[in-house]
Amino acid sequence: MKAEVLKRLDSCAGDSRMLQTAIREYIDTLGIVPTDDYVSVLEYLYTDRRHPTADDIFNALGREKPELSRTKVYTILEILSKLGAVKVIQIDKYTTVYDGDTTPHGHFICSKCGEVFNVAIPGNVSSVIDLPAGSALNEVQLLCIGECKHCRSKNIN
């Protein structure tokens, strides 16, 4: 069910009304009442793929929704992440960003500008990881750190 709804969300890109309807249906499948606040947070994550912080989301949505508190944004993100609807990416001990794309993929972080890029994970990564005997793998988080093309071009010239 989740995969079908996620495909539908991708097919709604560009049509805000259809996207909001699909997001409401998706939130409903998670067992949560699809309030406007939940819809707004997920819509922001699906339409702005820059891997925002909770503060970024709050600042962006607060202009249109002054009744939305910073605490509520954090709470919504925590609940959605626990239900698997949002990926949490811990950049460092001070910075956490969120990703609405929950398909298997990794992230590349530019150490100069801080931008976060999605990167494909080829094949079955779990087949090359030597887990301790008796362990079970639930999730793989690939985090690569380096310099993006834009920052490298600044250093080269």
At 99 the three-state DSSP class reads strand
On whether the CB atoms of residues 84 and 138 are closer than 8 A, the answer is: no
pLDDT score recorded for residue 77: 98
pLDDT tens digits along 27-65: 999 999 999 999 999 999 988 888 999 999 999 999 889
pLDDT tens digits along 57-87: 999 999 889 999 999 999 999 999 999 999 9
pLDDT score recorded for residue 7: 66
Lowest pLDDT segment from 23-37, 80-94, 134-148: 134-148
